[in-house]
Amino acid sequence: MKPKPGVSHGVAELVSDDKRRSVREAKLDSCSVKELFVKSSIDSLGNHFHRLATETVYITVGHGVLRTAKVDKNGKIRGKVKCIDLRCDMAVSIPPYFAHSFELVPGTKLFCVSSPQYDNADCVPCEIPD
């Protein structure tokens, strides 16, 4: 979707709620903003990459680990797996073609800005090896 000129605004709505996390999302013209609250550390979150979107994540509460690796157009890992310790007040930008997964402690809260706007069709599953 081509962004419209000018100021845009949106109201966050609950888009997902399961045993692992709850997600609220506001869709704007050029991006979307998600608020994620981690309920359980049973499974890692993410395990995907995007072909178009850059995701910028800001941790407001809690901590955890981000695992990321460069991938080719088919999702095959093409770079070293990098682990980043995340803590409150950290921000991380994840460009297209970088697979990512999060292991976050329960109670962690983060905001994620996807640009362009988040689209499930641009979310490609990809497991990052240990």
**What are residue 25's phi and psi, to 5 degrees?**
-140, 140
Please report whether residue 116 resides in a domain.
yes
Q: In a 3-state reduction of DSSP, which class is residue 122? A: helix
Assign residue 109 the CATH number of its domain.
2.60.120.10
Please report whether residue 106 resides in a domain.
yes
Print the domain residue range for 107.
20-122
Residue from 90, 75, 77, 84 nearest 124 by CA? 75
Q: In a 3-state reduction of DSSP, which class is residue 121? A: helix
C-alpha neighbours within 13 Å on the C-beta side of residue 72: 4
Region of 42 (left: φ > 0; alpha: ψ -120 to 50; beta: rest) is: alpha
Q: Which residues on adjacent β-strands are paired with residue 17? A: 22
pLDDT band at 84 (very low <50, low <70, confident <90, very high): very high
Please report whether residue 45 resides in a domain.
yes
**In the predicted model, what is the mean pLDDT of residues 61-79?**
94
**For the whole model, what pTM was predicted?**
0.89
* Per-residue pLDDT, 54: 97
Number of domain units in the chain: 1
Please report whether residue 68 resides in a domain.
yes
